[in-house]
């Protein structure tokens, strides 16, 4: 299954699970980052991602063009309606592995009630970055940041 299809299915699964509690793209992006890099057992951020989407530090914390492109395609395909809140229009079964559904469920349980802003702060802290330091990491790849923290 192509990476893009997995990413789109995870986006739809998050919307199915959280519904209107995903108030906007900022929160969705942070949740996608957690699906990608959060290790449930250790509760730490891992260098190697689950889906293969590349993240970097941007204006509102962690961001991925790969995830944004998948989101935009879902809107164009009318599977998601962009707005506040965004809504899932896709009604068929979402094809996703049981293992991935389990990870999504645990992330939703742990972070689903947080706002986009709270998730921005939490994900930065998990990377060892204070929100006030964010600008000095602007454009830096998450894998580079993690490699530097662990060296």
Mean pLDDT estimate for the chain: 92
**Residue holding tokens 């964010």?**
134
Query: Residue 120, Cβ neighbours under 10 Å: how many?
Result: 22
So what's the pLDDT on residue 83? Answer: 86
What pLDDT does 19 receive?
Answer: 84
DSSP codes of every residue in 69-128: HHHHHHHHTTSEE-SSS-EE---S-----HHHHHHHHHHHHHHTTS-HHHHHHHHHHHTT
CA distance 25 to 84: 9
Q: Which residues of the chain have pLDDT under 50?
A: 1
Neighbouring-strand partners of residue 63:
56
List, for residues 62-89, the tens digit of each pLDDT value.
999 999 999 999 999 999 999 888 999 9
Q: Which pLDDT value is given to residue 11?
A: 96
pLDDT at 1: 45
Nearest to 79 by CA among 27, 1, 5, 23: 5
Query: What pLDDT does 76 receive?
Result: 96
């Amino acid at each position: 299954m192509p990476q893009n299809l997995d990413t789109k299915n995870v986006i739809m699964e998050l919307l199915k699970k959280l519904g209107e509690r995903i108030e906007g793209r900022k929160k969705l992006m942070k949740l996608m980052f957690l699906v990608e890099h959060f290790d449930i057992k250790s509760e730490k951020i891992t260098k190697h991602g689950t889906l293969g989407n590349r993240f970097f530090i941007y204006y509102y914390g962690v961001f991925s063009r790969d995830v944004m492109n998948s989101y935009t395609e879902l809107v164009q395909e009318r599977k998601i309606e962009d707005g506040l809140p965004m809504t899932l229009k896709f009604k068929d079964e979402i094809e996703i592995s049981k293992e991935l559904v389990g990870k999504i469920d645990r992330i939703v349980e742990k972070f689903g009630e947080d706002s986009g802003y709270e998730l921005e702060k939490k994900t930065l802290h998990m990377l060892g970055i204070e929100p006030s330091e964010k600008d000095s990491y602007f454009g830096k790849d998450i894998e580079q940041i993690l490699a530097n923290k662990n060296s």
